[in-house]
Amino acid sequence: MIDVSSPTFWPQLIAVLLEGTWETIYMTAIAMAITFVVGLPLGIILVGTEQGRFLEAPFGSRALGRVINALLGFIVNLGRSVPFIVLMIALIPLTRWLLGSFIGTGPAIVPLTLIAIPFFVRVVEIAVREVDPGLFEAAESLGASRWLLVRRVLLPQATPSILLGTATTITSIINFSAMVGVVGGGGLGNVALTYGMQRYSSIHIIGVVIILFALVQLIQWALTALARQLGAPSTRRGPKKDATADAQAHLDVDLTIPDPRRPTPPSSTS
Amino acid sequence: MISIEHVSRRFGDGPDAVVALDDVSIEVAKGQIFGVVGQSGAGKSTLLRTVNVLERPDTGRVTVDGVDVTALSGQALRNERHKIGMVFQHFNLVGNRTVAQNVEFALEATGAAKKDRRPKALDMLDLVGLAHRADDRPGQLSGGQRQRVGIARALASGPDVLLSDEATSALDPETTRSILELIRRLSRELGLTVLLITHEMEVVKRICDAAALMETGRVIEQGGLDELIRTPGSQVAAELFPVGEPHRIPGHRIVDVTYTGLSADRPVIAQLARDFGLDVSILGAALETINGHQAGRTRLAVPGDEHTARQVVDSLIAQGVTAWEVLA
């Protein structure tokens, strides 16, 4: 049992929380970095290959555009419809093949990344869709190449929205990272699991909650400030929908962690 | 300079198909400012977009300075677009980049060297009187200023042709005038050929040398403005001179008199009364400055029959004005 009066309790608590925090940040940062690098182009391609958009005929082939669009849409929907806990277990063979092991903080990054990418692709998709079609037309009339269009028009206009969506994506990765304790991943979720749930330490739980809250708050604040700096989405056609809110609405995975002391009502009589 | 030949374009298939352009042919001479007027949905916008192939016609072809643009694609088309500038009703500036960066983008699209872009962009902004706002965001400018930036961007690559898609429709009358003056000045200074579409006759009146009227995807009439206002029954002229709908008056014939330039000074109607001893009444009149020249139209009620009316018309024509009987 936990003994709060023990002289080693507080230093140990701090050490445990610090380690958990570091592991959470580590997992989240790497997962987000990969998600960003993979998800950003995929999101742009997903919108771009729609009919009538700037990538509708990549390499001059309309059919290729349609195939890419349908395929991406399918993968994104598939990824978003699988609950994280199921995905995590389903990915064990892949993780083992990739990293040699599926237990631990490092391997936990694989399912975290794979759940975050479809979510982030939607974030990018919404942000790109918000860009005024007139800007694409203007760029086209100037004889700009697609690459220049993406770099000088699409990205500058979509970046604030994408940053806000990134904050939401990071928050969900942090949420999901709390579950990787199940496959032996570390992080604050694991601290809550091992100290709070298995050893009934409310202090650990409170510590975890405070740190998670502070982390999410900090990320949201920093990215919102950055987004504002880079220019809020244009409001020429009235207030635009908030990409973050939209992405949140698309988030259909249950994040609640069951409370062991107050179990959910049994579905069948035991 | 711009030659649109038998261009057709339809949207959709089967019974729901909308014919946006129905065998449209238009010829714009070099250095001319040509206005296409018509109500929304008439196909003006689609027509304009065929010139830089933002809209590809189903049939027919468009040549710009002898080049068949409808035959181009890929890099060749992009290169051709550098010679065809375009301005838009809603300006279409990138809000998160500065005014100068918006203009530099046009230069970057042509592959201009990085070090040359900014000075050239500032030159262009100077041309439209906005060099001092180079580092502001478009959102900090007024509508008229944003359209000036749009014009600077469209002209940065040194095009021979400027396409204007309702460039002044989102602006107030005074700003409209200053933008139109700018377009006219630049067209003269740079030798630009301008094809513009608008639903405002004011625009045609102020800057156009020639005009075409479109209705449900077809060109109803086209020609030089001087020529159109002398054409009996021209709808463009009727719009330019708001003398109202003609209606019959018992015992009278209705005659429209149109005069341009010098003939406006001559007392033609007084002359008429003297020559024929007729009590001519004036039903309506409009005096307009059309492309810098005074022009007017007066609607007369002439007592008498068809024969008198013909004599009156002949006499007016002999005096150097244009006249015809309406509702004959």
Touching check for B67 and chain A: CB below 8 Å?
Answer: no
* Closest Cβ opposite residue B97 in set A60, A138, A156: A156
Q: B99: closest CA among B127, B131, B144?
A: B131
- The pLDDT assigned to B83 comes to 95
Give mean pLDDT, residues B313-324: 86
Asked whether residue B235 is assigned to any structural domain, the reply reads no
The DSSP secondary-structure symbol of B14 reads G
Asked whether residue B288 is assigned to any structural domain, the reply reads yes
CB A175 within 8 A of CB A169: no
- The pLDDT assigned to B265 comes to 61
Reported as a single tens digit per residue, the pLDDT across B62-103 is 999 999 999 998 899 999 999 999 999 999 999 999 999 999
Touching check for B15 and chain A: CB below 8 Å?
Answer: no
Q: Is there a single domain that holds both residue B250 and residue B217?
A: no
* Closest Cβ opposite residue A134 in set B84, B88, B154: B88
- The pLDDT assigned to A38 comes to 96
- For A155, name the nearest residue in chain B, comparing CA atoms only: B96
- The pLDDT assigned to A261 comes to 45
Q: Is there a single domain that holds both residue B119 and residue B212?
A: yes
Reported as a single tens digit per residue, the pLDDT across B258-281 is 888 655 566 777 778 888 888 888
How is chain A split into domains, by residue range?
A: 27-186+231-250
Q: Is there a single domain that holds both residue B131 and residue B208?
A: yes
* Closest Cβ opposite residue B96 in set A141, A148, A156: A156
Reported as a single tens digit per residue, the pLDDT across A206-234 is 999 999 999 999 999 999 999 988 875 44
Q: Is there a single domain that holds both residue B62 and residue B183?
A: yes
ipTM higher than the 0.90 cut: no
Question: How many structural domains are present in chain B?
Answer: 2
Q: Is there a single domain that holds both residue B209 and residue B307?
A: no
* Closest Cβ opposite residue A152 in set B92, B108, B110: B108
Give mean pLDDT, residues A168-177: 93
Across the interface, do B81 and A141 touch by the CB < 8 Å criterion?
yes
Residues of B with CB below 8 A from A160's CB? 96
Which of B50, B79, B94, B120 should we substitute to test contact with A (largest number of A Cβ atoms within 10 Å)? B94
Residues of A with CB below 8 A from B90's CB? 132, 134, 236
Q: Is there a single domain that holds both residue B216 and residue B284?
A: no
Q: What is the CATH number of the domain that holds B14?
A: 3.40.50.300
Q: Is there a single domain that holds both residue B48 and residue B190?
A: yes
Asked whether residue B245 is assigned to any structural domain, the reply reads yes
Across the interface, do A234 and B77 touch by the CB < 8 Å criterion?
no
Structural domain containing residue B273: 241-326
Fold of A27-186+231-250: MetI-like fold (1.10.3720)
Total-model pTM: 0.82
pLDDT category, A260, cuts 50, 70, 90? very low
Q: Is there a single domain that holds both residue B185 and residue B148?
A: yes
